[in-house]
Structure 1
Amino acid sequence: MNTTELFLIAMMLIFALPWLIWRLGRTEYYAPLVVVQILTGILLGPGVLGQAFPDYYSFVFTPGVIQSLNGIAWWAVMIFVMIAGVELDLKQAWQHRRESGITAGLALGTPLLFGAAAAGVMLLSDGWLGSQGQSWQFVLGVGMACAVTALPILILFMEKLAVLRQPIGQRILRYASLDDIAIWGVLALILMDWTRVGRQLFFLLAFALIAWLFRKLMARLSEGDRWYVALIWLAACGFGADWAGLHFMVGAFLAGAVMEAEWFDQEKMDQLRHHVLLVVMPVFFLSTGLRTTWTMGGEAVFFAAGLLLVASVAGKLIGVRIAGRVLGWAPGEASIIGWLLQTKALIMIIFANILLDREIITSGAFTALLLMAVASTMLTVPMVAPKLARLRELIGRSA
């Protein structure tokens, strides 16, 4: 078969298998379709399918097919990250800056410290630190991966739980938005290439100037033109950031962060996110699964994933509980907010992909982080739904 035919076979697998598992297995409560897609990507990767049926795996996932899938995956995830940037609500965060700052700081800082400690334990044995990574980059990167909140998936979960447009949902979005900024800032620090620092400074200065001009332009355009110009801007920012050595995903986030959500119809933005998730993001999940490996041995990878999961969950819940005590929240409120902010899939997977691209972590560490992200995300709805049912009056609290 030629590359086109093999590519189409791969696409059938990408879309058919997760949907069948999700629909026939009725996994929606504990594993939404997006989580099933990630797990299916792992199953289709070299560590599972490649080991069980190496001839079949090498027949379908040839270098040409993988290259084609990667191109789709890059653009899909760039659009998704841009949407996350657009949806940052910094105005609301500023209006409630004390509450938002305390909660976001503790919700990020505590799991970051716990995750960094777990990373230090991992460094006691070989096989986790990438060939181009330094110990501080590994510790900070893994620590931040434990602290990440996936804003796009958080939005999907809060829609499912019917709290997104409620005051408590808007509060949680404020906390997650501030953490998102910190996450990408830390990533930029980790990726800072001191041999190309001049190029990176030039990019940041040029971006600040061009972003100011871009905002002036967007304010004058009709909404129909804004959508098209936004995609051009996305490609330009991604190119600039990658050229500077900061990775195109940092550029994608910056591209969205300087855009105002009010420039776009909210319903259309929600539809765009939904359609990107439906049409192209499954390709990214498959591409992610193709990068998993169990060469260190399944026991070591699962032990590392369990250690990271404990650090992530405990750190997030403890941090938010401390914030709740400082701010005088009602009993049970901190638990609901802490579990919702625990959602990790997508943004953490993107974060881990970047660390793997830069060889700061190995494929074994990447696999452990991926398993941790999936497990923490699967815990969210089963833990939050019963709590919301008991404490429904908390939904209406605005601060």
Structure 2
Amino acid sequence: MDEPAPRPRTRRTGLSYLVIASAAMALALGVAALLTLGTDDPAPAVGAAPSPAVLDTTARFLLALVLVLALSHGLGALLRRLGQPAVVGEMAAGIALGPTIFGALLPGVWHGLFPAAVLGGIDLAAQLGLVVFMFLVGWELDLSTLRPRGHTITAVSFASLAAPFVAGLALALWFFPGFAGTGVSFRAFGPFVGLALAVTALPVLARILEERGRLRTPIGALIVASAAVEDVAAWAMLAVTLALAGLTTALPGGVVLALTAAFVVLMLGAARPGLHRLVHTLERRENAEFALLPLVLVGALAAATATQAIGIHAILGAFLFGVIMPRHTRTSETLATRIRSFTMAALLPLFFAAAGMHVSIGGVGSTAAAWVAPLALVVTAMLTKLLGAGIAARATGLGRRDAYRVGVLMNCRGLTGIVIADVGLQRGVIDERMFTVLVLTALVTTAVTVPLLALAGPFGSRPGRSGGAAGPVPAVPEPVPARTVATSER
């Protein structure tokens, strides 16, 4: 009789990782503290050579990377042990490294570790990570899942987008006088706030479903497909909003829209079939992924450059290039895994850190009255998603519990919410206080997803039938082990 396979030591591995991350953070903070020594020394005499820096800019940048990666992955591992998605810890790490916590507790060390040159390097690396991540989101978006139960998917995605968008427009009237960017009209600010409340973090909810073995079930496929339709519509609306607002280019809004439409037609009509032929040709060669990897990255960056130059945003070009990439082949899966591993491990933590540098919780206000509007926005964002998506799911035949699960998972904003906020801050649509409110909204709505989902109890053994009749559902593959699902935790 065969011996049972040993259980993986996930707890011991998690604790070991936390110890290593803590040691790395302690080392980085210790070296950073040395950078501040001597800052109170008198200035050198006129004509005297300045004292040599303890570390040059490159060394400081590398030291900052050590701290960012250690804290991000350390908190991510800790939150994962507590049943939360790792992205919650990584988002919290970005805020902790910013001026709100680290900068307030150790201002000298913070300024020594993050001078202007280092912050500029982190910002540029963060934008690269954001572009590559959006390319992966587009690549992992399987449009074939949209065919089954099209009426339910349409209803859920529309309600999940429309309800928070309209509520966001209404709340924007309240926020506009004090939270809009300088010189920005309500025509840009209002729709942007609505979109920030309307997005859903497709990769995060897919990961949550995967961990529960429900990703490939009818209810899981329904939720993922609804989130995919909603996010595609939200990105399209964002492009139109930025174009019409005239915040990204000197070109008229109509010209930007025309160029955007031409770019989409070019990508779908010419680039997509060309990519498919190229991938299928190279797959017949040995080590095809090594030939395709640079071509894929160059294509994604070129598409991002094109949309940035048009006047919308680089992430939209990267996302569209990911959508037209071939999928479900051995080479494409290998490439996606390689790109995803480095992006999630190194580039995205830098994006969270860069975002955290602009989060100023104290800047929102120090009195209870100052937090009434931000709290109202968080509550509104949650209720409109829960009710909009949940009621639509129930109206199209899902049982009460499954309809509730749809609303809870569609409420998860994760990294997608921070991406929208970052776009608004870059384009001057919102100020740093509004950016802080939107980042906190993304963090809160992501953190409450797992606890709220637990209130519905475990998923039933008959998917789509919990809490009431759900109507006919399409046949789908059985749940697969988590390691075989190509999706991120964000």
Quick check: TM above 0.5? yes
- Alignment partners' CA distance in 2, 1:388 and 1:395: 14
Letter in 2 for 1:5: A
1:68 alignment counterpart: 121
- Alignment partners' CA distance in 1, 2:312 and 2:430: 16
Written as runs of structure 1 = structure 2, the 5 A alignment for 1:180-259 is 180-193=231-244, 194=246, 195-197=250-252, 198=255, 201-221=258-278, 222-223=282-283, 224=289, 225-259=291-325
Letter in 2 for 1:290: M
- Alignment partners' CA distance in 2, 1:346 and 1:201: 29
What is the deviation of 1:232?
A: 1.3
What is the deviation of 1:52?
A: 2.8
What is the deviation of 1:152?
A: 1.7
1:2 alignment counterpart: 56
- Alignment partners' CA distance in 1, 2:118 and 2:219: 45
1:14 paired to 2:82: no
What is the deviation of 1:218?
A: 1.5
CA contact 2:79–2:85 (8 Å) conserved in 1: no
Out of 356, 368, 372, which is 2:425 matched to?
A: 356
CA contact 2:390–2:405 (8 Å) conserved in 1: no
CA contact 1:301–1:365 (8 Å) conserved in 2: no
CA contact 1:302–1:368 (8 Å) conserved in 2: no
Unaligned ranges ≥5, structure 2: 1-54, 284-288, 475-490
Between 132-141 and 222-231, the greater mean CA deviation after superposition: 222-231
What is the deviation of 1:268?
A: 5.5
- Alignment partners' CA distance in 1, 2:201 and 2:120: 27
CA contact 1:69–1:283 (8 Å) conserved in 2: yes
1:281 paired to 2:335: no
Letter in 2 for 1:90: L
Number of matched pairs: 396
For residues 92-139 of structure 1, the C-alpha deviation after alignment (integer angstroms, 9 at most, x for no partner) is 32443212111110111112122222222223xx42011142113222
Out of 385, 392, 398, which is 1:316 matched to?
A: 385
Which one has a larger percent helix, Structure 1 or Structure 2? Answer: 1
1:325 paired to 2:376: no
- Alignment partners' CA distance in 2, 1:317 and 1:84: 24
**Cα gap change, 1:370/1:30 in structure 2, threshold over 3 Å: closer, same or farther?**
farther
Out of 214, 220, 237, which is 1:169 matched to?
A: 220
What is the deviation of 1:302?
A: 4.2
**Cα gap change, 1:227/1:173 in structure 2, threshold over 3 Å: closer, same or farther?**
farther
**Cα gap change, 1:234/1:35 in structure 2, threshold over 3 Å: closer, same or farther?**
same
- Alignment partners' CA distance in 2, 1:118 and 1:291: 22
**Cα gap change, 1:63/1:255 in structure 2, threshold over 3 Å: closer, same or farther?**
same
- Alignment partners' CA distance in 2, 1:267 and 1:386: 37
CA contact 2:389–2:410 (8 Å) conserved in 1: no
CA contact 2:156–2:226 (8 Å) conserved in 1: yes
2:91 alignment counterpart: 38
CA contact 2:79–2:88 (8 Å) conserved in 1: no
What is the deviation of 1:342?
A: 1.2
- Alignment partners' CA distance in 1, 2:323 and 2:183: 29
CA contact 1:291–1:363 (8 Å) conserved in 2: yes
1:374 paired to 2:443: yes
2:174 alignment counterpart: 121
Written as runs of structure 1 = structure 2, the 5 A alignment for 1:295-314 is 295-299=363-367, 302-314=371-383
Unaligned ranges ≥5, structure 1: none
- Alignment partners' CA distance in 2, 1:220 and 1:141: 38
2:108 alignment counterpart: 55
Normalised to the residue count of structure 1, the TM-score between the two structures is: 0.91
Letter in 1 for 2:358: R
Out of 197, 201, 204, which is 1:146 matched to?
A: 197
Between 308-317 and 366-375, the greater mean CA deviation after superposition: 308-317
Give the alignment's Cα RMSD to 1 decimal: 2.3
- Alignment partners' CA distance in 2, 1:30 and 1:311: 25
What is the deviation of 1:199?
A: 5.1
Normalised to the residue count of structure 2, the TM-score between the two structures is: 0.75
For residues 311-335 of structure 1, the C-alpha deviation after alignment (integer angstroms, 9 at most, x for no partner) is 1111011112321332121121111
**Cα gap change, 1:250/1:151 in structure 2, threshold over 3 Å: closer, same or farther?**
same
- Alignment partners' CA distance in 1, 2:266 and 2:68: 41
What is the deviation of 1:253?
A: 1.5
Q: Which structure has the bigger radius of gyration? A: 2
Out of 405, 415, 420, which is 1:336 matched to?
A: 405
Letter in 2 for 1:292: V
- Alignment partners' CA distance in 2, 1:371 and 1:30: 20
- Alignment partners' CA distance in 1, 2:352 and 2:321: 23
What is the deviation of 1:266?
A: 4.1
What is the deviation of 1:164?
A: 1.4
CA contact 1:130–1:361 (8 Å) conserved in 2: yes
For residues 331-385 of structure 1, the C-alpha deviation after alignment (integer angstroms, 9 at most, x for no partner) is 2111111111111111110111001111111100000010010000001112213
2:416 alignment counterpart: 347
What is the deviation of 1:29?
A: 3.5
Work out which structure has the larger RCO, using CA pairs closer than 8 Å and 6 or more positions apart in sequence. Answer: 1
**Cα gap change, 1:265/1:234 in structure 2, threshold over 3 Å: closer, same or farther?**
closer
- Alignment partners' CA distance in 2, 1:304 and 1:392: 42
